[in-house]
């Protein structure tokens, strides 16, 4: 039952959640039967059936709402409509999360809306070109790297976007300008967001560590400036190898010509295989393994010292991000390329890189930390994952401490596995 488990298909958490649900139900039924009459037991079962019917009805209503939003996205005529639909989607999934606390269900809905929105944005960019007499859009592929690439889209996720083209053409640069404008108007890109554009050949060069443009105003995947003319501009550079690893490992196709995207993703997989035994990767792994965590000396929380979040814990920076990045480098080292954080934990378990106990603890930690992030996004209505330890109950404090300690154990395992090469 996905409505209760927050899972679907062969999700790694499904078997454990199912077992825990059934065990709890059996325990409650056994206790009820031991001290109840037949009539009381019958009333209990009737109440249980009514509750399940109500939950199923709620899930059905949610699916109808999400389907309606997706259809509205697909039929949007202007970019500003996409922004309002995205806001409505956040309201709907926030209400569901407040009732269910299901990270997997929220991420699944977020992934689905994200792809529909990006697909429609690309279509609107194509339509703008035709309306302006700039011709039809060239063959392109739009890919996402980051949270969406791992299938972990939340309310305010952070992604980078890669726009690839097949052949050099002024039309591609006109299209990239129109797409950037639509994504800005739709609220997908802001001043800190990133859009890289270039050919497949330039993408391959970038993955190998080339493609830099010294002295350029465009650094990393900086937003494209307005194009006054369709003059040829080189691809943006990606100066940090850390970005290239995320782009290679956390990448998914969103819109456009899928065969072109498959070539780009195959190039990414090949680059990971070629570079995982080279020094830049191990230098990155060394930094990742030693990222600071939320628990400092003597078990004290590391708190923000000033600013808006003074006295709070930055869960994203001091727990969730170290976990995701450590699992990524350990997965690359073990030859695991695709998948999100949960899938990587599963594959690392199968390969013997993690033991059963640590894998289970990491699954629980991921659930806990993602819940904290989503709850923070709902409260603040913006990206971030800040929590105030003064508001923790004893149970919450213990759970969050256990999650951070699991990440520390992960860092130690990663160090032991890779120390010979870092």
- Distance between CA atoms of residues 180 and 125, nearest Å: 8
Across 175-316, the runs of DSSP E, i.e. the strands, are: 194-199, 251-256, 313-314
Q: Where are the domains of the chain?
A: 39-271, 279-418
The architecture that CATH gives domain 39-271 is 2-Layer Sandwich (3.30)
- Distance between CA atoms of residues 64 and 71, nearest Å: 11
> Tens of pLDDT along 33-88?
666 666 676 677 777 777 777 777 878 888 999 999 999 999 999 999 999 999 99
> Tens of pLDDT along 297-337?
888 999 999 999 999 999 999 999 999 999 999 999 998 88
- Distance between CA atoms of residues 149 and 355, nearest Å: 26
CB 265 within 8 A of CB 143: yes
Q: What is the pTM of this model?
A: 0.82
* Radius of gyration for the chain, computed over Cα atoms and rounded to the nearest angstrom: 24
- Distance between CA atoms of residues 422 and 417, nearest Å: 10
From residue 4, alpha-carbon distances to 45, 56, 416 in Å are 18, 10, 38
- Distance between CA atoms of residues 151 and 157, nearest Å: 11
Say how many C-beta atoms besides its own lie within 10 A of residue 41's C-beta: 13
- Distance between CA atoms of residues 419 and 176, nearest Å: 43
**Which residue's structure tokens are 């497949």?**
200
User: Is the pLDDT confidence value at 349 over 80?
Assistant: yes
> Tens of pLDDT along 186-207?
999 876 557 888 999 899 888 8
Enter the DSSP assignment of 391: G
The architecture that CATH gives domain 279-418 is Up-down Bundle (1.20)
Closest CA to 260 of 166, 170, 146, 130: 166
User: Is the pLDDT confidence value at 181 over 60?
Assistant: yes
Q: Which of 166-170, 198-202, 245-249 has the highest mean pLDDT?
A: 198-202
Say how many C-beta atoms besides its own lie within 10 A of residue 161's C-beta: 23
> Tens of pLDDT along 205-225?
888 775 543 322 233 333 333
Closest CA to 154 of 119, 116, 112, 107: 107
pLDDT given at position 284: 86
């Amino acid at each position: 039952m996905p409505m209760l488990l927050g899972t679907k298909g062969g999700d790694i958490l499904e078997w454990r959640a199912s077992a825990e649900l059934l065990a709890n139900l059996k325990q409650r039924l056994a206790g009820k039967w031991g001290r109840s009459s037949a009539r009381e037991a019958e009333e209990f079962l009737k109440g249980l059936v009514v509750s399940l019917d109500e939950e199923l009805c709620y899930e059905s209503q949610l699916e109808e709402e999400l389907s309606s939003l997706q259809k509205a996205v697909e039929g949007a005529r202007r970019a500003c409509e996409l922004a309002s639909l995205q806001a409505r989607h956040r309201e709907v999934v926030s209400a569901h999360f407040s009732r269910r606390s299901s990270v997997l269900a929220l991420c699944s809905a977020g992934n689905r809306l994200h792809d529909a929105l990006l697909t429609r944005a690309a279509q609107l960019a194509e339509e703008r070109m035709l309306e302006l007499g700039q011709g039809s859009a060239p063959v392109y592929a739009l890919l996402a790297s980051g949270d969406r690439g791992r299938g972990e889209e939340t309310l305010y996720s952070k992604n980078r976007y890669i726009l690839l083209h097949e052949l050099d053409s002024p039309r591609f640069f006109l299209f990239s300008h129109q797409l950037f404008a639509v994504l800005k108007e739709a609220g997908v890109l802001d001043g800190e967001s990133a859009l890289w554009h270039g050919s497949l050949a330039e993408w391959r060069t970038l993955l190998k560590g080339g493609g830099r443009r010294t002295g350029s105003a465009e650094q990393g995947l900086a937003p494209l400036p307005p194009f006054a003319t369709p003059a040829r501009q080189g691809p943006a550079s990606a100066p940090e190898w850390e970005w290239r690893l995320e782009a290679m490992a956390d990448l998914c196709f969103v819109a456009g010509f899928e065969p072109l995207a498959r070539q780009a993703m195959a190039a990414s997989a090949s680059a990971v295989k070629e570079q995982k035994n080279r020094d830049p990767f191990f230098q990155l792994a060394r930094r990742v393994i030693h990222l600071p965590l939320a628990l400092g000396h003597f078990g004290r929380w590391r708190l923000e010292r000033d600013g808006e979040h003074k006295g709070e814990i930055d869960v994203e920076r001091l727990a969730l991000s170290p976990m995701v990045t450590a699992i990524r480098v350990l997965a690359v080292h073990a030859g695991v390329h695709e998948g999100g954080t949960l899938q990587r934990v599963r594959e690392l378990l199968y390969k013997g890189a993690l033991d059963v106990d640590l894998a289970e603890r990491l699954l629980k930690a991921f659930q806990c930390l993602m819940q904290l992030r989503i709850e923070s996004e709902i409260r603040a209505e913006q990206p971030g994952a800040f929590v105030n330890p003064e508001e923790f109950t004893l149970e919450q404090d213990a759970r969050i401490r256990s999650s951070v300690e699991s990440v520390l154990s992960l860092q130690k395992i990663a160090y032991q596995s890779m120390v010979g090469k870092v």
